[in-house]
Structure 1
Amino acid sequence: MDYHGITLDPFQEEAIHAIEGGRSVLISAPTGAGKTLIAEFAIEKSLEEGKRLVYTAPIKALSSQKFRDFTARYGERIGIKTGDVTINPDAQIVLMTTEVFRNTIFDGSSKIDSVEYVVLDEIHFLDDPERGTVWEESIIFAPPSIRFICLSATIPNIHQLASWIKSVRGDNLTVITESRRPVPLAHTLFVPGMGAQDLAELRKREKRMDRYAPAGRRDGAWRRELVDELFDLKRLPAIYFAFNRRECEQCAASIHRSLLSEEERTKILDSYDSLCRMFSLDRDGVVATMRHVVSRGVAYHHAGLLPTLKEIVERLFTGGILKILFATETFALGVNMPARTVVFSSLSKFNGVEVAFLKSRDFQQMAGRAGRRGMDEVGYVYSVLDWPHTRALSAERVITGDPEPVCSQFNLSYSAILGLYGHLQEKIYGACEKSFSVFQGKRDALLKLQQMKKKIDLLKSFDYIRDGRLTERGIFASQIYGYEIPVAELLFRGILDGLSETDLAVVFCAIIFDGRKSVRHRKVRAKDFRRLTRSVDGALGGILRYEKFTRIAEPMKEADFRLAPAVIGWMRGETFDDLERHTEASAGDIVRTFRQTIQLVRQTASAVGPRSPLRPRLLALLRAMNRDEVDAERQLRLGIAEPVMEENPKP
């Protein structure tokens, strides 16, 4: 079977036949196997039949990339709604983050009833400790008429996941698995000071040597040796995964040789300069530093960069001239950005608590970016091993081990509980017994239900629920998704009354900001500011103490006002470069926090209603804050105007 000139693999054919038959599908296949093509078939089918489809993605950047791709192909029949950006939200095909789709369900909007299909991309994110509950809630609470197209990386308990979905939504589900990669992978261990090594040979050497033999060189010269090998063996372009921002930048700076011909250098710098002009980026600071490494065919990509600069790097990489991209693991979620080679700087990383080995599932997803379908016969994966301190057996477990099973992370937020309680009252417990955790028979299923009861008790104690109904406070909080309790407390305790637009921006930003403790910020010493912080802390203190006393998991965070000088400067019209005087926080962290602040203010302005005296000040705040580099919709519209360079053929 052919589709747009592409001969389909059997698993793709099976999925398309199931969709044509009106069934939901759950597809488990390796990264790069061609799962996205199935979703694109469903999009074209929906467009031809005049039906609506929602395509969800785990991160906003992925939704934006898909929106650009689909808009270029299908025009105004495509819309996007991510929280940061809303364009053409009533279109036939709408791109959303999974959170926005979940929120749409809880809003009770009639628009969701007209949706025929929902694509849940990266459904194995259901296992994510912080956000996995969103995928689970979407499946449990979506209208019964919706059919799902669930796309997953390879997971061992795919049939258990399918059985749970069937138990929640009925038997109309086809499970499709594919284990074969269209481009096979060749794995190599690279030991600093020793070069490329065979796994079996390292195991033999370990048996003959003392465990505390001296390690290979870690002076950075080995990295240049690795790059030389990739260049000489024609194994570029490469994605080099490093697991912190500083390492990404240091790695890029350490590559002194040029990987480009003179013609390629001219072309890539012309492209870089053109994109910088398009996004109105000044060519100094980080932009100049990036240009310097780009001139050698190298770049870096991490969350600390300006979103527009990250997009420029992505476009250069997609164009095929960039030879090595040093990136953190979030780049593994990129759209159609494979390379010939993937390199891991280490097989372990800090997970927020300790340094631990990568999960096999995460390793396989990142490694799956190696090998471009239609261009490479083999994809190469290099794993840098700090041998002998890290033993070959440990490396083997990560590289060749079975991927970990997906487990439930079901954990309803206060807002979700309020939304459900408004319809179900005490029957909410029965609805939540549909969770994957209960289905799996996990010991923590009961603990999760107990946690929900503790949250409901809190909501009753603080007058969000009274006599089996939502109070005015509860109705308001049910319309805010994320930080709903702090905003509700500040509103109903009168803390927001009379605040200027700038003070409101400072307060909303403090609710959200959770910056690194090591980053320095200028202090605000005005008495009025100290009075404001004390009133906010006082309003939130009661709930924070209640959560701590009752041991509610993942309690609210305290307000963090350290970014206030930057917020005040931005609200006064300062440029983004001016903000460096106020804070050492990275540009990416500032933009992300400001965009989250804007999203929260928008929700609040909607929830208070048109007659609230607070609403005009919130709208004025939005006009002052949502500009220039912070304006996500501006970035997206500028990106649509400029076609993306494309080297890699579509899988």
Structure 2
Amino acid sequence: MSVELEWMLIDDLQLPKEAIEILRNRGISKLNPPQTEAVKKGLLDGNRLLLTSPTGSGKTLIAELGMISFLLKKGGKAVYVTPLRALTNEKYTTFKDWEKIGFKVAMTSGDYDTDDAWLKNYDIIVTTYEKLDSLWRHRPNWLNEVNYFVLDELHYLNDPERGPVVESVAIRAKRKNLLALSATISNYKQIGKWLNAEAVATNWRPVPLIEGVMYPEKKKKKEYTVIFKDNTTKKVIGDDPIIAYTLDSLSRNGQVLVFRNSRRMAESTAYKIANYMNFINLDEKGLAEVVKQLDDIEEGGSNEKEELKSLISKGIAYHHAGLSKSLRDVIEEAFRQRKIKVIVATPTLAAGVNLPARTVIIGDIYRFNKRIAGFQEEIPVMEYKQMSGRAGRPGYDDIGEAIIIVRDKENADRVFKKYILSSVEPIESKLGSERAFYTFLLGLLSAEGDMSEKELAKFAYESLLPRSLVDIYFDRAINWLTDHSFIKEQGDILTLTNFGKRVADLYINPFTADIVRKGLEDHKSACDIAYFHLLAYTPDGPLVSVSSNEEEELTEIVEDLDCELLIDEPYEEDEQSLYINALKVALIIKDWIEEVDEDTILGKYNIGSGDLRNIVETMDWLTYSAYQLSKELKLEDHYDKLRILNSRVKDGIKEELLELVQISGIGRKRARLLYNNGIKGLGDVIMNPEKVKSLLGSKLGEKVVQEAARLLNRFH
């Protein structure tokens, strides 16, 4: 696994002077061992590589050198693929440097029903796995010019939700030149072989990692022992193990990331630690600036902001998917600038942006899983490695520490063996489910065009699934997709039906499309809640947490609804909970389009601003997809209603505001303000410029009037 530690001067790279200058401006004068090893293995000659090395070991620069040298020698385009939108933004900002030597850089994510033809003018394109998969289905010409793919965070192959998409992208990308990157792959030789790439694995980290397990002493209250990997130990005193080690690290000028297994635990732990932060030397002026930034953010509930302000003023914050992206961005940036000293987060942070800390404390090795009796399961080793990988800030720390908290000494030995002394779980295919496999085949036919069963099977055999499983799923998939009118067989050639092609282009799951089609075909026009409930009930629908109290309330609401739902109430327990979940989503979205205040929605349904944003984005995509499918199926009773609902979901507005929100800079609040003051459409905006300025302020008002005039001209 380990390679000899060699460093290489950047002047020794076969790259143009201007490229070397860009590296120098970033403060890079030599390549570290993983980077040097990649160059020795032919990175700059376009050799296909799978590189696994720890977090923070400079894999992004390896990707940049691979892309730049390939484009300089062979031309064409390069695509860099990440699993998360946040990473897409981060990489895009980094890669913009290369525009100085003539490579145009673009990024794209989100909107799945487009071919992004504008990208034909760009050389380096940063995107997500889902977006690339959807682009392939639309077959834009510019994609044929891409001959170099960088697959980042390849261990997402093991993610039950995202793995199937990562795998289908890898299957196509490996037909061209590729570079795959990951911090954690134990079976890297097997995966390298699968990708036809040479595996380069190193253990080198810029900041050495010290790992340990911490447990309470039985006989001494408030005393904890930490056993480290090198068999040394350390005693820590305090009221609580997490607080004790956090304060210990802060006293050594560290920053701390604490991981808890639920949002509730993350928030309550942050409050507990906050009570001890008055002993810490804080940048009070800097923290006051961060608190002020929260006021300038539109996204986010008032309660969330007030809670965060009280914590941030003490140098600590919590971080989870319930917070809006803007709030999370402020917290992350303040931590990078070392103003916030402690973040208590759920494990989603470990998989996301680059946010190193001196100390990482893993507060729970268990997590909640409804499908398991007792509801608790131990986290995978992979998840521990992702979290511990955040320990150690290059440039600030000589070491990083990752500490797991356990209940007692007996647990400590077992946890030590499992998480610290063993390798991560091997990567395996996640295409082994009907939902994943059928979507995979539909996507292949959409991207590659008509082909015989034999040709399609050849693609399927290129997956990581064992051949015997491919055989089982393949026949089932062809039968199901044919029976449900997604594909048709003409002789021995498989071709997508118009409906099948539309489903593939919309990037929805075929099971989702089937549920929507049945729901719409079996009923005449329906009420708003019925449409939302139908869409939220599909495999692509958003999931929210529903407490047992809410379950009773929601069941009563269903009974009192003056509206026939498009889905019959199921008998199975699993289906029943999905049915109720879908109802909660439907009611949230109904309130949203009735312009109920965001704070009221968050309080009424006990969700966070990040949850609301996620629900709105998903339902925007699903209402758009349902409208497009109803058009394809010529279901006239539904498509006008769905089109208007889709427009309303996007902005959270009543129908009367649809014209005003077309103006950029006008959202639900400003549109309502204008409307209530007699400015009801584009014409009113143009006819009453002074009134618009007095309502919105002169600078924004001026912009809005100009934009309204531009829109009116376009319509006429």
Q: TM-score range by the shorter chain?
A: 0.7 to 0.9
Which of the residues 535, 538, 563 maps onto 1:508?
535
1:131-175 Cα deviation digits (max 9, x unpaired): 21222211223483x322210123222111111112xxxxxx333
Residues of 1 paired with 2:123 and 2:70: CA distance?
Answer: 8
1:91-137 Cα deviation digits (max 9, x unpaired): 43333221221222233333321223222111011122232122221
Residue number in structure 2 paired with 1:475: 501
CA 1:483–1:573: 2 relative to 1, 3 Å: farther
Moved more, 488-497 or 424-433: 488-497
Moved more, 425-434 or 60-69: 60-69
Matches within 5 A, 1:3-18: 3-4=23-24, 5-6=27-28, 7-16=30-39, 18=42
CA 1:226–1:14: 2 relative to 1, 3 Å: closer
Residue 22 in structure 1 maps to residue 40 in structure 2: no
Query: Does the Cα contact within 8 Å between 1:347 and 1:398 map onto a contact in 2?
Result: no
Give the counterpart letter for 1:13 in structure 2.
Answer: T
Give the counterpart letter for 2:324 in structure 1.
Answer: L
Residues of 2 paired with 1:554 and 1:450: CA distance?
Answer: 26
Residues of 1 paired with 2:413 and 2:229: CA distance?
Answer: 8
Moved more, 614-623 or 58-67: 614-623
Partner SS for 1:460: helix
Which of the residues 595, 609, 619 maps onto 1:587?
609
1:240-280 Cα deviation digits (max 9, x unpaired): 11111111001001020226877612212212322540x32
Residue number in structure 1 paired with 2:155: 124
Partner SS for 1:435: coil
CA 1:32–1:398: 2 relative to 1, 3 Å: same
Count of residues paired in the alignment: 595
Residues of 2 paired with 1:586 and 1:283: CA distance?
Answer: 7
Query: Does the Cα contact within 8 Å between 1:199 and 1:392 map onto a contact in 2?
Result: no
Residue number in structure 2 paired with 1:37: 61
Residue number in structure 2 paired with 1:106: 137
- TM (norm. structure 1) is 0.80
Residue number in structure 1 paired with 2:678: none
Which of the residues 368, 372, 386 maps onto 1:365?
386
Matches within 5 A, 1:337-356: 337-350=355-368, 353=372, 355-356=376-377
Residue 405 in structure 1 maps to residue 430 in structure 2: no
Query: Does the Cα contact within 8 Å between 1:248 and 1:326 map onto a contact in 2?
Result: yes
Give the counterpart letter for 1:287 in structure 2.
Answer: K
Give the counterpart letter for 2:472 in structure 1.
Answer: Q
Residue number in structure 1 paired with 2:291: 272
Residues of 1 paired with 2:397 and 2:560: CA distance?
Answer: 63
Partner SS for 1:596: helix
Residues of 2 paired with 1:380 and 1:97: CA distance?
Answer: 31
Query: Does the Cα contact within 8 Å between 1:184 and 1:378 map onto a contact in 2?
Result: yes
Residues of 2 paired with 1:413 and 1:532: CA distance?
Answer: 34
Give the counterpart letter for 1:258 in structure 2.
Answer: M
Residue number in structure 1 paired with 2:668: none
Residues of 2 paired with 1:200 and 1:470: CA distance?
Answer: 56
Residue number in structure 2 paired with 1:624: 648
Partner SS for 2:148: strand
Which of the residues 181, 192, 202 maps onto 1:162?
192
Give the counterpart letter for 1:487 in structure 2.
Answer: A
- TM (norm. structure 2) is 0.73
Residue 423 in structure 1 maps to residue 460 in structure 2: no
Residue 63 in structure 1 maps to residue 88 in structure 2: yes
1:557-597 Cα deviation digits (max 9, x unpaired): 65822222221111122231121364223333232122112
Give the counterpart letter for 1:319 in structure 2.
Answer: Q
Which of the residues 192, 216, 223 maps onto 2:242?
223
Give the counterpart letter for 1:450 in structure 2.
Answer: I
Residue number in structure 2 paired with 1:287: 305
Give me the CA root mean square deviation. Answer: 3.9
Residue number in structure 1 paired with 2:674: none
Give the counterpart letter for 1:130 in structure 2.
Answer: E
> Quick check: which has more Rg, 1 or 2?
2
Instruction: Tell me the CA shift for residue 496 of structure 1.
Output: 7.7
Matches within 5 A, 1:549-588: 560-580=582-602, 582-588=604-610
Partner SS for 2:409: coil
Residues of 1 paired with 2:612 and 2:300: CA distance?
Answer: 17
Instruction: Tell me the CA shift for residue 285 of structure 1.
Output: 0.5
Residues of 2 paired with 1:394 and 1:190: CA distance?
Answer: 10
Residues of 2 paired with 1:125 and 1:160: CA distance?
Answer: 16
Give the counterpart letter for 2:405 in structure 1.
Answer: V
| Structure 2, unaligned runs of 5 or more | 1-8, 11-22, 217-221, 654-660, 666-716
Give the counterpart letter for 1:163 in structure 2.
Answer: K
Partner SS for 1:402: coil
Give the counterpart letter for 1:64 in structure 2.
Answer: N
Residue 248 in structure 1 maps to residue 266 in structure 2: yes
Residue number in structure 2 paired with 1:77: 105
Query: Does the Cα contact within 8 Å between 2:49 and 2:192 map onto a contact in 1?
Result: no
Residue number in structure 1 paired with 2:353: 335
Which of the residues 339, 354, 357 maps onto 1:321?
339
Query: Does the Cα contact within 8 Å between 1:342 and 1:382 map onto a contact in 2?
Result: yes
| Structure 1, unaligned runs of 5 or more | 167-172, 205-215, 439-444, 635-651
Partner SS for 2:411: coil
Residue number in structure 2 paired with 1:643: none
CA 1:314–1:129: 2 relative to 1, 3 Å: same
Residues of 1 paired with 2:231 and 2:511: CA distance?
Answer: 55
Residue number in structure 1 paired with 2:179: 149
Residues of 2 paired with 1:481 and 1:555: CA distance?
Answer: 26
Moved more, 91-100 or 308-317: 91-100
Moved more, 248-257 or 341-350: 341-350
Which of the residues 140, 164, 186 maps onto 2:210?
186
Partner SS for 2:390: coil
Residues of 1 paired with 2:422 and 2:108: CA distance?
Answer: 38
Query: Does the Cα contact within 8 Å between 1:479 and 1:607 map onto a contact in 2?
Result: no
Query: Does the Cα contact within 8 Å between 1:62 and 1:333 map onto a contact in 2?
Result: no
